[in-house]
């Protein structure tokens, strides 16, 4: 099986649709494709695909330390310019924006925004080998951003994510209400 990591900077509609279909709680689904696309084009968000024979096997999006600190401002200004969007999704957006951006991180931390894995594209390999493939690509992504920690957050009720990250030795480092934050240091 030949998997490769591809950084996506153009033609992002398919990636956006995959994110919205598979992670309905993503704030970007509410903010719209144009906002997502703008964030990628301006290097706030970075999109990677793991591909097998030109087929998307996984979508990974990340945001670096500096942009993690200012993304809330970008979202706020976008909502001010689009008040209908604010009214339409007020409760969800309030919940999403309340995620803690004051956690203790530095420039060595890279935030994993989205991870979508298409199980069928890894069906013929062992779980251990699949985890090794992802670990290899996480290291490449971290190296691209001069980081060595990957951190993420997800809702406590997402048992599938919890199982995956714990199996891959991500460590707990913060919790706010029902949002769990995990991190892992990689040797680059």
CA 23/CA 29 separation, integer angstroms: 8
Q: Are 163 and 122 in contact (CB under 8 A)?
A: no
Residues pairing with 174 in the sheet: 181
Domain that holds residue 45: 3-185
Structural domain count, the chain = 1
C-beta contacts of 87-94 below 8 A and 24+ residues apart: 88/30, 89/30, 92/25, 92/27, 92/30, 93/27, 93/30
Instruction: State the CATH number of the domain containing residue 40.
Output: 3.40.630.30
Q: Which of 17, 59, 12 is nearest to 37 (CA)?
A: 12
For every one of its 188 residues, what pLDDT tens digit does the chain have, with 9 covering 90 and above?
699 999 999 999 999 999 999 998 888 988 999 999 999 999 999 999 999 999 999 999 999 988 988 888 898 888 888 877 766 666 555 555 555 556 777 889 999 999 999 999 999 899 999 999 999 999 999 999 999 999 999 888 999 999 999 999 999 988 888 889 999 999 98
């Amino acid at each position: 099986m030949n998997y490769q990591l591809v950084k996506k900077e153009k033609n992002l509609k398919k990636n956006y649709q995959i994110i919205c279909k598979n992670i309905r709680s993503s704030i970007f689904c509410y903010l719209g494709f144009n906002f997502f696309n703008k964030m990628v084009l301006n290097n706030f968000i970075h999109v990677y695909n793991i591909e097998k024979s030109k087929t998307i096997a996984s979508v990974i999006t990340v945001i670096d330390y500096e942009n993690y600190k200012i993304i809330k401002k970008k979202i706020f200004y976008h909502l001010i310019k689009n008040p209908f969007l604010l009214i339409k999704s007020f409760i969800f957006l309030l919940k999403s924006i309340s995620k803690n951006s004051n956690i203790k991180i530095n420039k060595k931390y890279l935030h994993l925004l989205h991870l979508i894995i298409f199980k069928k594209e890894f069906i013929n390999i062992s779980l251990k080998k699949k985890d090794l493939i992802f670990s290899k690509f996480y290291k490449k992504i971290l190296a691209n951003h001069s980081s060595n920690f990957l951190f993420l957050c997800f809702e406590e009720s997402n048992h599938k994510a919890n199982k995956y990250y714990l199996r891959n030795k991500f460590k707990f480092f913060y919790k706010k209400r029902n949002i769990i934050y995990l991190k892992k240091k990689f040797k680059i």
